[in-house]
């Protein structure tokens, strides 16, 4: 009689796709400095050994966004999902962004969407029209209306 020890190692295969956690809603204050953290796009994968990587995609395409631009002022940490500011953000120009993200575990992928709402700050000086007003009023003036003017503020609605 011979005793033999047999060891069987079970190797986990990467069979499950990652999932971008929805809904994904982030916010950023306009004029935030480059490098400011906006938030994290989270994803899960049931495979215990899966290493996830993140990229932004152009809307309606499968092309990766590899550079920061004025129309897409965000970058994403390729292994963390952390979203950072990388260009100017102006609420009056774009109050909200839709980010398309592709998450992969090296074999399987998931496409997700994240909305970034821009918070407005009072950064636009009011404008008075006409800019220069000189009035002469007689001592016994009887007019109820001396001058009309308007004040507008690029951060909000005009007051007349």
pLDDT tens track for 20-71: 999 999 999 999 999 999 999 999 999 988 999 999 998 878 788 988 888 8
In the predicted structure, residue 158 carries a pLDDT above the cut 50 = no
Please state, in angstroms and rounded to a whole number, the distance separating the CA atoms of residues 50 and 68. 28
Q: What percent of the chain has pLDDT over 70?
A: 88
Asked if residues 43 and 54 have their Cβ atoms less than 8 Å apart, the reply is yes
Asked if residues 117 and 95 have their Cβ atoms less than 8 Å apart, the reply is yes
Helix, strand or coil, per DSSP, at residue 104 = strand
Environment class of 26 (CB within 10 Å of its CB; exposed 0-12, middle 13-18, buried 19+)? middle
Of 108, 103, 87, the C-alpha closest to 14 is 108
Instruction: Quote the pLDDT of residue 160.
Output: 33
Q: Which residue has the higher pLDDT, 157 or 39?
A: 39
Of 154, 151, 41, the C-alpha closest to 91 is 154
Q: Are strands 109-119 and 96-104 parallel, antiparallel or unpaired?
A: antiparallel
User: Between the CA of residue 4 and those of 8, 9, 115, 134, what are the distances in Å?
Assistant: 13, 16, 60, 107
User: Is this prediction's pTM over 0.85?
Assistant: no
Neighbouring C-alpha atoms within 13 Å toward the C-beta of 156: 8
CB atoms within 10 A of CB 146: 10
Question: pLDDT tens digits, residue range 79-94?
Answer: 999 999 999 999 989 9
Q: Which residue has the higher pLDDT, 157 or 60?
A: 60
In the predicted structure, residue 118 carries a pLDDT above the cut 70 = yes
CB atoms within 10 A of CB 18: 24
Asked if residues 149 and 120 have their Cβ atoms less than 8 Å apart, the reply is no
């Amino acid at each position: 009689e011979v005793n033999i020890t047999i060891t069987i190692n079970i190797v986990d295969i990467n069979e499950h796709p990652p999932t971008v956690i929805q809904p994904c809603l982030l916010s950023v204050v306009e004029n935030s400095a480059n490098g400011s953290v906006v938030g994290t796009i989270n994803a899960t994968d049931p495979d215990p050994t899966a290493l996830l990587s993140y990229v932004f995609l152009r809307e309606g395409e499968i092309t990766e966004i590899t550079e920061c631009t004025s129309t897409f002022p965000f970058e994403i940490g390729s292994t963390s999902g952390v979203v950072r500011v990388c260009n100017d953000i102006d609420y009056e120009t774009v109050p909200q962004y839709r980010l398309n993200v592709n998450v992969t575990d090296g074999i399987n992928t998931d496409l997700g969407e994240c909305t970034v709402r821009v918070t407005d700050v009072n950064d636009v000086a009011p404008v008075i029209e006409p800019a220069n007003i000189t009035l002469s009023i007689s001592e016994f003036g009887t007019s109820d209306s001396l001058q009309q003017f308007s004040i507008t503020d690029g951060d909000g609605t005009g007051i007349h």
